[in-house]
Amino acid sequence: MDPQSRIEAHLSLLFTRAATPSGPPLLQAAMRHAVFPGGARVRARLTLAVAYACGDDAPSVADAAASAIELLHCASLVHDDMPCFDDADTRRGRPAVHRAYGEPLALLTGDALIVLAFQALAEGGAKAPRRLASMMAAVAGAVGVPRGIVAGQAWECEPLADLSAYQQAKTGALFAAATIAGAAAAGADPHPWRALGESLGEAYQVADDLLDAVSSEADTDKPVGRDAALDRPSAVRAYGIQGALALLESLTKAAADSIPDCQGAAPLRALIAQEARRLVPKSLSHAAA
């Protein structure tokens, strides 16, 4: 099964088990709305790619790690879209959860997806208890305080925020968890994999800032120009378009260079080069060439 199909199949399995007739139907529908259909599942694919590079000797454990990472990403989007943050109307071309189901259920949807992520880890990791603790620590650290995505979002509420700390927490942390958990799921030493996740996370954030700055709403499935409108830190606002493009290139190079020696290093490097091309917004690809 290709990685994308593996991810969709495992997420569906989790929902089949968790969302039962005895549970509250509207909450369960809102949770599905937040997760299906998904985006590119970039973080989950990264988890599986690293597990594969490390031998993938326990695929169900890697599936659990990948799903957990993806569910936490979806949870953060649901809460970020709420009126007290971005007040976004749409997400992935459809109404945001709080628009489709109301604010109370959007709040609970985020909570329930966070919990489902840990439930997935617990189930998958029960077959490999020693790996479970390591995956749990990586994943929980990537979401909580002081340096996870929740902390990253909280920097938006602080009077003084450092661009790098903010982006590292808001985006980089979950990418780092994806690589660390992928390695841990396959029984490899996870620490050498942190740098790959951190570089890729920063690259995706810079790519997102570029997309926000140069796209029209027709090109992308989310609102654009939000960083300037909401006075959020952004690589484009800090360094300009050309500076951000140069930063993106150096980050994807650092990512490829950081891959530890392992049996699947070469295909992983090729995958990253492919992603790096995809990250440059189409309207800028001549400038980056």
Q: Which residues contribute to the site for a second copy (CB under 8 A)?
A: 18-20, 22-28, 31, 75, 79, 82, 84-85, 102-105, 107-108, 110-112, 114-116, 118-119, 121-123, 125-126, 129-130, 132-133, 136-137, 140-141, 143-148, 150-151, 153-158, 165
Min dist. Cβ of residue 141 to a second copy (A): 7
- Which residue lies nearer to a second copy by CB, 110 or 182? 110
Min dist. Cβ of residue 279 to a second copy (A): 28
How many angstroms from the chain centroid is the CA of residue 263? Answer: 25
- Which residue lies nearer to a second copy by CB, 23 or 243? 23
- Which residue lies nearer to a second copy by CB, 86 or 202? 86
CA-nearest of 44, 53, 95, 40 to 222 is 95
CA-nearest of 209, 188, 200 to 260 is 188
- Which residue lies nearer to a second copy by CB, 168 or 199? 168
Angstrom distance (rounded) from CA 171 to CA 202: 7
- Which residue lies nearer to a second copy by CB, 171 or 252? 171
Min dist. Cβ of residue 22 to a second copy (A): 5
Min dist. Cβ of residue 220 to a second copy (A): 25
**59 burial class (0-12, 13-18, 19+ CB within 10 angstroms)?**
middle
The packing angle between helices 3-18 and 103-125, to 10°, is 110
Other beta carbons within 10 Å of 50: 32
Min dist. Cβ of residue 32 to a second copy (A): 11
Angstrom distance (rounded) from CA 166 to CA 231: 14
> Per DSSP, what are the bridge partners of residue 94?
91
